[in-house]
Amino acid sequence: MKETRILHEITPLQDEDSLYIADRCKMMFSYPIHNHAAFELNFIEHAAGVRRIVGDHSEVIGDYDLVLITSQDLEHVWEQNTCTSENIHEITIQFHWKMDEGFLARNPFGSIRKMMETARKGLAFPMEAIIQVYPRLTQLSKMNDSFWAVSQFMGILYDLSLCKGARTLATNSYAKVDIQDDSKRILKVKTYIHDHYMDDIRLGMLADLAGMSTSAFSRFFKLHTGYTLREYLINIRLGNAARLLLDTGESIANISFFCGFNNLSNFNRIFKDRKGCSPSEFREQVRKARIIL
């Protein structure tokens, strides 16, 4: 199978610019799957039926969609799919601010910095948040004063950083997000899992690694990750499997084995349950969007 590449977009954003804002109405989506160095907040309305792909996450959106992406390596695309709207409105805001130094590194921007880190996997906002920022988003491209435009956008980011219900999209392993944790004990366990996810990992083995009983470790692991060990392992394995499906020509059976699933039928069942399609459908669906330019 011919390996495809992702278009690396060179955005119009220059070093001296703070924001690039594109506000447009269109009848269809035709741009291929891509990534870029700039951060991006993308708002879409009147586009029910469009398929949004961010990394290894794919879903059909409703009338409104708002997504923040802050990784230069995370590919994404909005595909026409079954959308029949002739009045699609899209506002794309690109920016590239260094959040860990200078003025933005100070305490008032803590929630925005945390949101930016989370959005390395892609972050989709709920309708309540979209309604809250909608009037200011639609005003941004009409503002002539760049200072007030940046101030308005900073307020939008702040409100989004405080909203409840935002969802991450791509999995950690697919998005290649570094393992971070305040606890040295859980960090040690996570690192071991990420290095050995293809092996047979048992609860007792990890409990010994953490110096805890199995029952205490189970509670400890769920508290720190939000997942049981089985759920966490499946997420890591599926993320790596998805990347292999797209980036290599390996057979699905081999990928299943490489990523630690005990048999192909089990892999197919779990993949379809978590991602809404079979591994072969996922490979075909996302690869179709990878146009070589």
Instruction: Give the domain CATH number at 283.
Output: 1.10.10.60
Q: Kindly state whether residue 61 falls inside one of the protein's structural domains.
A: yes
Mean pLDDT of all residues in 63-78: 94
Together in a domain, 95 and 181: no
Distance from the first to the final alpha carbon of the chain: 18
Average pLDDT over residues 157-184: 84
Check residue 288 and give its pLDDT: 59
Domain-located, residue 99: yes
Q: Is residue 199 part of a domain?
A: yes
> Within this chain, do residues 166 and 252 fall inside the same structural domain, yes or no?
no
Domain residue limits at 129 = 7-170
pLDDT at 3 over 80: no
Residue 268 falls inside a structural domain: yes
Are residues 153 and 14 both part of a single domain?
yes
Residue 1 lies in a domain: no
Distances (CA, A) of 140 to 78, 114, 132, 268: 22, 24, 14, 45
Both 144 and 237 in a single domain? no
Answer yes or no: do 196 and 156 share one domain: no
Cα separation, 287 vs 210, whole angstroms? 41
| CA 129 centroid distance within chain | 18
pLDDT confidence of residue 2: 39
Do 214 and 202 form a contact (C-beta atoms < 8 A)? Answer: no
Same domain membership, residue 129 and residue 34: yes
**Position 155 confidence tier, pLDDT thresholds 50, 70, 90:** very high
**Could you give the percent of the chain with pLDDT greater than 90?**
59
Q: Are residues 133 and 194 in the same domain?
A: no
Q: What is the pLDDT of residue 291?
A: 42
257-272 confidence digits (pLDDT tens): 999 998 999 999 999 9
Neighbours of 139 (CB within 10 A): 12
Given a cut of 80, whether residue 73 has pLDDT beyond it is yes
Q: How many domains is the chain built from? A: 2
Residues 166 and 188 reside in one and the same domain: no
Asked whether the beta carbons of 133 and 159 are under 8 A apart, the reply is yes
| Other CB atoms within 10 A of residue 196 CB | 12
d(CA 36, CA 3): 20
31 and 163 fall within a common domain = yes
Q: Is 2 part of a structural domain of the chain?
A: no
Res 128 pLDDT > 60:
yes
Q: Are 72 and 8 in contact (CB under 8 A)?
A: no
Q: Let me know: does 282 contact 58? Beta carbons within 8 Å.
A: yes
Among 170, 204, 232, the domain-final residue is 170
| Count of CB atoms situated within 10 Å of the CB of 134 | 17
Residue ending a domain, choose from 118, 150, 170: 170
Res 293 pLDDT > 50: no
The domain boundary residue, chosen from 124, 155, 170: 170
- What pLDDT shows up at residue 289? 52
Higher-confidence residue of 112 and 290: namely 112
Q: What is the pLDDT of residue 136?
A: 94
pLDDT, tens digit, 9 for 90 and up, residues 7-28? 778 788 777 788 999 999 999 9
Question: Is pLDDT above 80 for 80?
Answer: yes
Q: What is the CATH number of the domain that holds 132?
A: 2.60.120.280
| 208 belongs to a structural domain | yes
Residue 179 has pLDDT above 90, yes or no: no
Same domain, 48 and 140: yes
Judge whether 46 lies within some domain: yes
Same domain, 33 and 48: yes
pLDDT tops 70 at residue 180 = no
Same domain? For 64 and 190 the reply is no
DSSP E strands, the chain: 7-8, 20-26, 34-35, 39-45, 51-54, 57-60, 64-69, 76-79, 88-95, 123-124, 167-168
Over residues 40-58, the pLDDT tens digits come to 999 999 999 999 999 889 9
